[in-house]
Structure formats: C-alpha cells, structure tokens
Structure 1
Amino acid sequence: MLLVGCRSGRAGLLALPLLALLASPRPLQAAAATEADMLLYTRIAALNVCVALVAEVPFDKAVVIAGETIARVIRGEHDSAIEQLGGQPLSLDELRRGSINSAVLGAAEVCPDQLPESVRRDVEAAVQRVTGSEAIPPPPQPATLPPGDAAN
C-alpha cells in the first residue's frame, strides 16, 4: 500500500501512532488533584528545593522553580483544580503562590539546615500560629531492623 504523498510509505507508517493518539478519546475534564496527589507534589517540590540548594542555587530561585513546576503540573494534569480547595479551577497565579508555599514548607521538613535562617524562623512562626506547635516536626525516620534481622 502506498500512502498519498509518500514515495515509500514509511512516513505514513510513522504517522500512524500519532493518528491513533489523536483519535483516542480524552476525558472531558481531568480529576481535581487529591490530597495524595498534593502530598506527592509537595514532596517533589521540597526535594527540588533541597537539591537546588545543595547545588548552590539561590534560595529564591530554587523555590520559584519548584513552585512553578508544581503549579504547571496541577494545571496540566488536574485542570488547575484541587479537591481540598473545593475542586474549582484556580488561576495560574493562585497555583503558583500555593505551590511556592508548599515547596517552602516541605523543604523546611526535608532539609531545614539548608534553608536560610530567616526563612526557617518565618516557617516556624507560621506553623506555630496555625498549629500551636513550637517547631516543625522532623521528617519520619526510616524503620530500623532489630539486630540479627538485617536482610542479606
């Protein structure tokens, strides 16, 4: 079989997966980001901030990059909607602000020693205002096996 406009037909064969992708049904509206999605995105943003800080990226840039990434993921994967906030689409600016805040709070849990002292103080003050707690809880520690139970 020879496809129109192609001498060998190879280009047409290469286009078949693209045509199949375009023809496949797409959901009309993506599901809002769940609490589990948001926890994952916050953790990813926090880790991105921590890695960037180790690589000597200035804190402000590290946080903006991590926040922008997560805001765009929520926009693209969830049509800008978050279940915990009512499931209605948020503006990109609202997503950015929330994602940056999440990145900072997450980084304060994951790598507090890498944050600027003023940021660490501000985060601790904000956490205290909201929860009444004196400090940011430490991240969970990996489980340890009793002596003699170590895997080989």
Structure 2
Amino acid sequence: MHRIFAYGRIIAVAAAFLLAAPFLLLAIQSDEKSMVLVGLFVAGFFMSWYHGPVTAVLHDMMPRRAHATSVGVYMFATQLIGGLGPAVVGKISDLHDLQLGLQIAVAVMVCGALLMLLVIHFIRRDGIRHPTLDAFHAEPGD
C-alpha cells in the first residue's frame, strides 16, 4: 500500500485497529469462553499489525542519524502513557463495572485509529519527510 500512497502505512495502522475493535467488543460482551478466546485471538492478531508500519513511518520521517532515537522516544512515550491504561480501567471498574472500563478502552483505540486520518492529512500536506528535519544538521559534515 505504501507504493501507491505515501501514507499507505498509516492506513494499515488505522485499519488494523478498526478491524480489531469489533472482536474486542465481542470478547468483552460474550459469556461463552470460546467466543472470548476467539475474539481476543483475532483482535490480538489485528492489533499486532501496527508495530512494523509505525516503526517504518518513523524511519521514513526522520533523518537516518535519528532513527534509533526516534523509535526510543516513541516507545518510551507509548509505554509511559499506555501504562496508565490499566489504572484508568481499574478506576472505572471500581466506580461502575469492568465491562464499561474495557469498552472505554476499545473506544480510545478507535479514536486513535481515527486520529490516523489527521496524520494522513499532514503527510499529504507536508510529505513524508518534513523540510525542517532535512535542514537540521546535528554534527559537522551532516
């Protein structure tokens, strides 16, 4: 898809999360063990799609000398913010019920997928490589 559109990888990320959402909801709302397992398995399959495209987009956007740093900052930020998820779901579970907390977590994932449309807008407007990043020289000779 990246060969057709500069933002093809972003479409893959958004599609993966949107495809995972109904299976997560199926697992959350089901009373049968087999349906819960199938829902979680299929959702996990789709949710794992985003790792490669996100790393590739970071590499596309950043100068070569910043690849490791950009992935490190991305991983740090996502783990730091994502680490709050269980606490928030737990608090919602304490105030209401666990099912609602998990449904809200799925809604947040869908919102993240929809925010990828905003990323597509910026890639279409600025291109995959922003000129400011290309003009930045960290060391002499860059």
Same fold (TM over 0.5): no
TM-score (norm 1): 0.28
Greater length-normalized contact order (CA 8 Å, ≥ 6 residues apart): 2
